[in-house]
Structure 1
């Protein structure tokens, strides 16, 4: 409970510091000592007492009604993902939280066949903690051959942070990677007692100064859709659009589908697919089917 209270305290403080008085319709008087909102201003905007909000931000209250959560979210201008994170932090917990291991994640065989049949579109399935549960050949050619990596080395965020090739590949590496850190933050809020998530966070804190900085900012991101820009060593500049689709039956599995942003980008993906197929045909023994075995812890 102490860890949850501390996270609630830091999250509310960082979100309060991020809102400028002018954004909330408040006057920014000369000599103001804080760039963000004061606690009493958040309380006023949310329609709660100063004492109540202070106790909430200090972690002395660890639950709240939905109405209060939404009022505070509006006052702090929280995104949808940040509002859900606040809900997760204020979700009532049993006196002794059950720490059962999360069930093993498996990608359905039919979905694996669908991935393999997508020849012009890179696609992959992400699980908890950004594990690449399955990927098709074109995704492996675009990013890195996750399908050929060891079972414990298929994590998208670890690759983004620690592989120099990822920094060279993404033209907006910092933006992309910090957003994936925000996705991990959202997951940590949904599963606050997941030991593997806590261990993974500690691993990345020790290995990456960028991760330490972004994690401390407590930005929360949800997977939706967007664009990404690459400088690929084979086809050069490549822009893609993507959609993130939560899979029915397992909300912890998300299917990502990439597509060329323009006709020229689509042509480059086809070139990359042809190159990937030729390479596989030349070295079939060295290139196992991508994304297998289709399960992760």
Structure 2
């Protein structure tokens, strides 16, 4: 699903030669750096670097990886991804079991004023509280946020920042593919998204990785309007590979009023989190 060779090629193509001291040349036929330029700047032989990009090289040392990360201008997330890809030949991590402890479901039920979900590395929702079900209009569990964003065109309007959301999803799945290259469920999901979405194919080919731990999320709910929320991601302290995502609204904000209204509108109806698939509350 992912490999060191492809990642190096995409990163190399994005480096501005002038940033690393190479004069501009109008006759350049490649985007970014040439292979021999990366090799020279990293202190490795051209032959060895070519073999790295062809997937034929032996396990690169930490010194080589550090040099490549520096030359290619990798950020912290990309650097970690590079190291994982390089280690895959020696040790391939087993995909997490995804088992959810009952205690965590009780914790979700305690969160009443903010949508909260628990997702695994494939972005499958393992559990969600009542308000999350009302926000997404989906039964929980049994809902994959990547499919929802890329393949469910009828629900695309829910995401006011849809294009930004797609970047986050692809970046997350790229990281997951680097961590768990032998996970058949993840491979199936990526194949399904690639078959069903041209935008996913285009973004996947860029090989960008993202590790989002917090940030803004903006929704356009059909009943309560615009909800400008803040998302916090909490990695669960076990081997499940899951994260708790909580969407909160600033006190006194229109978004807080919107969540309160959404909660009230759903108070006399069965919650989608308890088994009612719902596109609209009516």
Q: TM-score normalised to the size of structure 2?
A: 0.88
Could you say which residue in structure 1 is the equivalent of 2:279? none
Could you say which residue in structure 2 is the equivalent of 1:48? 44
Could you say which residue in structure 1 is the equivalent of 2:128? 135
Could you say which residue in structure 1 is the equivalent of 2:137? 144
Asked if the contact 2:228/2:249 (under 8 Å) is kept, the reply is: yes
Among residues 187, 207, 215, which one is paired with 2:176 in the alignment? 187
SS in 2 for 1:167: helix
SS in 2 for 1:18: coil
Could you say which residue in structure 1 is the equivalent of 2:53? 57
2:274 equivalent to 1:288: yes
Could you say which residue in structure 2 is the equivalent of 1:117? 110
Could you say which residue in structure 2 is the equivalent of 1:274? 264
Number of matched pairs: 275
Distance 1:275 1:83, change over 3 A: same
CA distance in 1, matches of 2:68, 2:137: 42
2:52 equivalent to 1:66: no
Asked if the contact 2:227/2:255 (under 8 Å) is kept, the reply is: yes
2:32 equivalent to 1:36: yes
CA distance in 1, matches of 2:236, 2:61: 30
CA distance in 2, matches of 1:266, 1:45: 52
Pairwise CA RMSD of aligned residues?
Answer: 2.4
Per the TM alignment, residue 52 of structure 1 is displaced from its structure 2 partner at its CA by 2.1
SS in 2 for 1:116: helix
SS in 1 for 2:173: helix
CA distance in 1, matches of 2:176, 2:198: 21
CA distance in 1, matches of 2:235, 2:58: 29
CA distance in 1, matches of 2:50, 2:237: 40
Distance 1:103 1:78, change over 3 A: closer
CA distance in 1, matches of 2:101, 2:179: 24
Distance 1:257 1:42, change over 3 A: same
| Structure 1: unaligned runs, 5 residues or longer | 291-297
Among residues 224, 231, 238, which one is paired with 1:242 in the alignment? 231
Asked if the contact 2:96/2:239 (under 8 Å) is kept, the reply is: no
Could you say which residue in structure 1 is the equivalent of 2:220? 231
CA distance in 2, matches of 1:165, 1:24: 46
**Structure 2 matches for 1:84-99, cutoff 5 A?**
84-93=80-89
Could you say which residue in structure 2 is the equivalent of 1:105? 98
Per the TM alignment, residue 16 of structure 1 is displaced from its structure 2 partner at its CA by 0.7
SS in 1 for 2:122: helix
CA distance in 2, matches of 1:241, 1:229: 8
Per the TM alignment, residue 90 of structure 1 is displaced from its structure 2 partner at its CA by 0.9
| Structure 2: unaligned runs, 5 residues or longer | 277-282
Q: After superposition, give the CA deviation of every residue in 1:166-189 in whole Å (9 maximum; x if it has no partner).
A: 310112212202321221111111
CA distance in 1, matches of 2:64, 2:245: 34
Per the TM alignment, residue 29 of structure 1 is displaced from its structure 2 partner at its CA by 2.6
Distance 1:25 1:171, change over 3 A: farther
Per the TM alignment, residue 11 of structure 1 is displaced from its structure 2 partner at its CA by 1.5
Distance 1:99 1:179, change over 3 A: closer
